Structure 1
Amino acid sequence: MTITAIDTRISVSPTDFFELPTVLRIRDSLEIGLTDRSYLPKSNDLRSDWVASVATPAFKALAQTGASVPRFCTIGTGAGLDALAAIEILKSDTVAFTDLHQDVVDRARHNILDNLRPDVRVELISGAGDILAPLAGEADNFDVIYENLPNIPLSEAGDIRDGQTSSTFITKRSEAIPKFAEQYLITLHYLALEQARPMLRSGGRVLSSIGGRVPLRQILNLAEHTGYHGNILTYTWKRQSEPEEVIGGYAAWEVRGHGPFHFYPASILAETFEGMSVHAAGAQALAIEAALSSHEITATEALIQLRAGQDIGHTVGILESVK
């Protein structure tokens, strides 16, 4: 097992979790503290974990291109594992991070600092609040801004301050949102791209981690509508985590006329992506999506199959939007 619980802390093997042969900038064993509102890394199934199965492979793919990323920012860092992955894989020495809640941000700062090797110095910039707003006027000239923001609007009865709400967001916004972004519940990804532009250096990029429950054409639309050059950097799949909550949330919005959203039997996804690198899959993402079309199931259908014992997954694309 990669992660073992120790009260409010977990121990993580970075070579297992990030699938690295060795680590040079972070410790050999990571001690990660969590608050009640921190997103819990998936201890028994890394295929369900966003950092392990999506963010880390994308960082590796970017590093293999020779991209220089001294200044890195992550939106919604949670426990800070994505920041530690960037420090190790992208060699970033200035790292900015945000999350919605101050206690999560404070804990992430401790997690990052406590897990650097003694001779590694990293400048940390942080703030709590909505998307990039906490960093506005505080930091700029980033080489990469990474985000894995929630898609499902919070129910009217919900309270974003309560518990762990990484899958949901407050739907009422003052900004103008394009119809397609509202239709496919990718509002926060659109806003992140808008807010990121003045904070990126020329040639800098935003990496948007978006579940392929949304058609790739609509994901690519995000970059086009916000004035970036966009492409799918990596393409992979993950097992749906918190499946009852998340698939149920999508199904509820599907009934209201949003989507439709795409899910797949996890076994089909495992077979389709077997032996294919995430970077190679990114280059063929539209063709792979088309090949999977006969296996698509809506959120409503996926919820029925889930309750019948089916293992449900979805594809994930990293949208690379270059300024």
Structure 2
Amino acid sequence: MSIRIDHPELLVSPTEFFRLEETTRIKPSIGLKLSDRSYLPKADQPRADWVASVAVPAFKTLARMGFLAPRFCTVGTGAGLDVLAAVEILKARTVGFTDLHEDVLDYAHENVRSNLLDQDIELLGGAGDILAPLAGQLSDVDVIYENLPNIPMAESGDLADGQTSSTFISARSEEVPSFVEKYLMTLHYLALQQARPFLRVGGRVLSSIGGRVPLPEALAMSRAAGYNSSILTYTWKVQSEPDEVVGGYARWEREGLGPFHFYPVGLLRSTFQGVSAATAGAQALEIEEALAPHSIPASDALALVEKGEEVGHTVVILDSVKVPDSLD
């Protein structure tokens, strides 16, 4: 059993962290309270942070397309920054959010509520597995955003012990296509399945998936779950929690899964320099092909990390749009 340790309040500037000119619906300085099981935002290194470097560009892309999300939901919210970004960028007014642990969810709820300028926003939170905590509470959702873990936890691991956002318990009763398991996309597939009753027709699931797996396999996963799938945005990030994450991928690569791909940070920076996430999304398959000769398998990436070197990976926002049941 873990002992809860509250971190000092973390301050984040949304104009800098989200790269916004101004904020109108959330406070100009965000104060975040975290427990020892909350995912720690990378406030001093946005390129390593999932919300800043991945979710926000995707939300901005949807907004530029004229697609807002008055009804929004996020799975695995952590500190609640993704909710605040959706309120500001996608104009969310009814928001569902989940996380695995009650204490993480409680802090997220407090973080969101205390940093809203517009208090006329409905918050629906639930702790537990993927979307199950919100069953019966939320419907006709415009956008569900998920950034779920990929790495099955070792048998000796304990999800209740400390910050374990990169791993999940692999024993599941649901049927999952073999290629989904091979590339460690199990929770993403299950989130797509659970999302269908929550979404309106034309609503979409944005799945944040590290491009350590081949993009055609991610697209095939969405189609296998019954959605129209495409790539919304494509970008890169520095690998956060490198020992734990790269080590986890290396372990499963040795078991015959994958292979999983990492890249030198300098190569990723130069490849994506001056290219928007949306433009890269339209060219994602071509970019991935160009990067392929420089990919580093997880075992070699782990050796680099152990030497103190940084590695990075690409990230795709998989856009899965719900179609009418008659067209499934």
TM-score (norm 2): 0.95
The answer as to whether partners of 1:10 and 1:32 remain within 8 angstroms in 2 is: yes
- State the alpha-carbon separation in 1 of the partners of residues 302 and 11 from structure 2: 33
Question: Per-residue deviation at 1:120?
Answer: 3.9
Q: Within 5 Å, give how 1:143-292 maps onto structure 2.
A: 143-292=142-291
The answer as to whether partners of 1:167 and 1:246 remain within 8 angstroms in 2 is: yes
- Percent identical among aligned pairs is 62
Does residue 20 in structure 1 map to residue 34 in structure 2?
Answer: no
Residue 98 of structure 2 is matched in structure 1 by 98
**Could you list the runs of 4 or more consecutive aligned residues of structure 1 that deviate by over 3 angstroms after TM superposition?**
none
Does residue 79 in structure 1 map to residue 76 in structure 2?
Answer: no
- SS state at 2:196 partner: helix
- State the alpha-carbon separation in 2 of the partners of residues 159 and 60 from structure 1: 36
- SS state at 1:210 partner: strand
**What letter is aligned with 2:111?**
N
User: Aligned pair count?
Assistant: 317
The answer as to whether partners of 1:266 and 1:313 remain within 8 angstroms in 2 is: yes
Question: Per-residue deviation at 1:308?
Answer: 2.9
1:172-209 per-position Cα deviation (integer Å, ceiling 9, x unaligned): 00000110111000000000000001110010000000
**What letter is aligned with 1:56?**
V
Residue 34 of structure 1 is matched in structure 2 by 34
- State the alpha-carbon separation in 2 of the partners of residues 143 and 48 from structure 1: 27
The answer as to whether partners of 1:76 and 1:97 remain within 8 angstroms in 2 is: yes
1:59-116 per-position Cα deviation (integer Å, ceiling 9, x unaligned): 0001000013100000000000000000000001001000000111111111111001
Question: Per-residue deviation at 1:223?
Answer: 1.1
Residue 320 of structure 2 is matched in structure 1 by 321
The answer as to whether partners of 1:140 and 1:198 remain within 8 angstroms in 2 is: yes
The answer as to whether partners of 2:231 and 2:281 remain within 8 angstroms in 1 is: yes
Question: Per-residue deviation at 1:8?
Answer: 2.6
The answer as to whether partners of 1:267 and 1:311 remain within 8 angstroms in 2 is: no
- SS state at 1:19 partner: coil
- SS state at 1:272 partner: helix
Does residue 126 in structure 1 map to residue 125 in structure 2?
Answer: yes
1:157-184 per-position Cα deviation (integer Å, ceiling 9, x unaligned): 0011111000000000000011011100
Residue 3 of structure 1 is matched in structure 2 by none
TM-score (norm 1): 0.97
Question: Per-residue deviation at 1:306?
Answer: 2.0
**What letter is aligned with 2:170?**
T
- State the alpha-carbon separation in 2 of the partners of residues 162 and 282 from structure 1: 37
Question: Per-residue deviation at 1:307?
Answer: 2.2
Question: Structure 1: where are the runs of 5+ without partners?
Answer: 1-5
- State the alpha-carbon separation in 2 of the partners of residues 7 and 173 from structure 1: 33
Does residue 135 in structure 1 map to residue 130 in structure 2?
Answer: no
Aligned CA-pair RMSD:
1.0
- State the alpha-carbon separation in 1 of the partners of residues 198 and 27 from structure 2: 30
The answer as to whether partners of 2:237 and 2:315 remain within 8 angstroms in 1 is: yes
- State the alpha-carbon separation in 1 of the partners of residues 272 and 78 from structure 2: 28
Q: Describe the shift of the 1:255–1:7 C-alpha distance in structure 2 as closer, same or farther (beyond 3 A).
A: closer
The answer as to whether partners of 2:262 and 2:311 remain within 8 angstroms in 1 is: yes
- State the alpha-carbon separation in 2 of the partners of residues 318 and 68 from structure 1: 16
- State the alpha-carbon separation in 1 of the partners of residues 165 and 306 from structure 2: 23
